Amino acid sequence: MTRFTNLTRRSFLGSGAVAFGAASLGWRPAHAQATVNFQLSWLHSVQFGGSYIAQSKGYWDEAGLSVSLSPGGPNAPVEPPVVSGTALMGISAADYTAAAVEQGAPFKILAVAMQNNPFAIASLAKNPVLEPKDLIGKKIGMAVANTPVLQALCTINDIDINGIEIVPTQYDAAPLVSGQVDCLLSWATDLPVAMTLQGVENETMLMADYGYAVHSQTYIATEDSLKNRRDELVALLKGEVRGWNDYYADTDAAAALTVEMFPDAGLDLPTQKLQAERQVPLMFSDLTQEQGFGWFTDDTIAANIQTLGLLGREVSADLWDRSLLEEVHG
């Protein structure tokens, strides 16, 4: 099996891919605009499809913003450019942000793109892991650094982690397909997608379905930006909301746009289409249907605080700030 090249931040592996600059499609009005840098969390892919739509359709231009989309990657963490002011806003995750805040970073989580955390247990259809208890007696391939994640899942579901054999592996489906391990810890939108496209029948157990609540693909900014550049943040989020609503309406079009905008990124259309489709249940829910894209509640914050505690991250509810979303969605 070839290695799936469209990795996520969680891979703990450098892909060797080049970090490409922001593509800029669409029109530009003649009036003066505020220039804004928006820091993404990983290399360009349809993972950020809504942002590409917002840029290509001129949603930010209409709001008076000239937005640069900066890719992340294994050597380009999100938090430093945001805390330094190089980027106005960034895409992160609650656990990363909590760790940064513990070190004194003045971050706030403004919105939540992934309502369900994308961490999953991938297995073969002939030997499936369909619920946490199925992990008992299994060999799981994963980065050792992710052991706290597995431990949290086990704690939530009253499972002894000592009954699971952890096998350190690279972020690759090959150990599972070859039978070296029984399952893999991965994102639901990458290794399972790669196996499916290569004709390998597989199952995906989404950890969020079993109590693992950690907001992912979150929008962060500093307290200083919230105070002094609030209008720009609101405009940036409004464009995001419009872009992601368009994404929801036509994921295939979002995938095609992504491939078109980044022709040198090594992206193939079938992979991007399937990834785009599988992101939908992670990013859109009854809550977003009722309140709007990116929404979070006091209850979802409480669930995050509980899971983050299991990961060794002690945070309070004031890490989250819903005031911009309230303005964006009226």
pLDDT, block means (10 residues), the chain with 330 residues: 34 28 36 87 97 98 96 92 97 96 96 97 98 98 97 98 98 97 98 98 98 98 97 98 98 98 97 98 97 98 98 96 96
Q: Do residues 15 and 109 both lie within one domain?
A: yes
Look at residue 33 in the predicted model and tell me its pLDDT.
85
Residue 299 lies in a domain: yes
The neighbour count for residue 287, using CB atoms within 10 Å, is 15
How crowded is the C-beta side of 319, counted as CA atoms within 13 Å? 27
Residue 152 lies in a domain: yes
Alpha carbon distance 118, 93 (integer Å): 11
Q: Do residues 109 and 164 both lie within one domain?
A: no
Q: Do residues 104 and 224 both lie within one domain?
A: yes
Residue at a domain's end among 186, 209, 232: 209
Q: Do residues 64 and 156 both lie within one domain?
A: no
Which CATH number covers residue 267? Answer: 3.40.190.10
Q: Do residues 192 and 242 both lie within one domain?
A: no
Residue 31 lies in a domain: yes
Q: Do residues 218 and 147 both lie within one domain?
A: no
Residue at a domain's end among 147, 179, 209: 209
Q: Do residues 69 and 157 both lie within one domain?
A: no
Residue 3 lies in a domain: no
What's the domain count of the chain?
2
Residue 4 lies in a domain: no
The first and second tokens of residue 158, run together, are 């009253």
CB 169 within 8 A of CB 259: no
CB 108 within 8 A of CB 142: no
Spell out a b/e string for 25-55, using b for 16 or more CB atoms within 10 Å of the CB, else e: eeeeeeeeebebbbbbbbbbbbbbbbbbbbb
Look at residue 152 in the predicted model and tell me its pLDDT.
98
CB 150 within 8 A of CB 161: yes
- Give which of 317, 313, 312 is closest to 302, Cα–Cα: 317
Alpha carbon distance 175, 170 (integer Å): 9
Q: Do residues 111 and 32 both lie within one domain?
A: yes
SS3 14: coil
Q: Do residues 202 and 135 both lie within one domain?
A: yes
Sort strands 34-39 and 165-168 into parallel, antiparallel or unpaired.
unpaired
Look at residue 8 in the predicted model and tell me its pLDDT.
39
Residue 1 lies in a domain: no
Q: Do residues 152 and 199 both lie within one domain?
A: yes
For the entire predicted model, the pTM comes to: 0.89
Residue 2 lies in a domain: no
Q: Do residues 300 and 320 both lie within one domain?
A: yes
CB 328 within 8 A of CB 89: no
Annotate 30-75 with DSSP letters as a single string.
Answer: SS--EEEEEE-SSSSSGGGHHHHHHHHTTHHHHTTEEEEEE--BTT
Look at residue 26 in the predicted model and tell me its pLDDT.
37
Residue at a domain's end among 172, 189, 209: 209
CB 117 within 8 A of CB 96: no
Q: Tell me phi and psi for residue 27, to 5 degrees.
A: -85, 165
Q: Do residues 154 and 261 both lie within one domain?
A: no
Domain enclosing residue 293, as ranges: 9-115+214-328
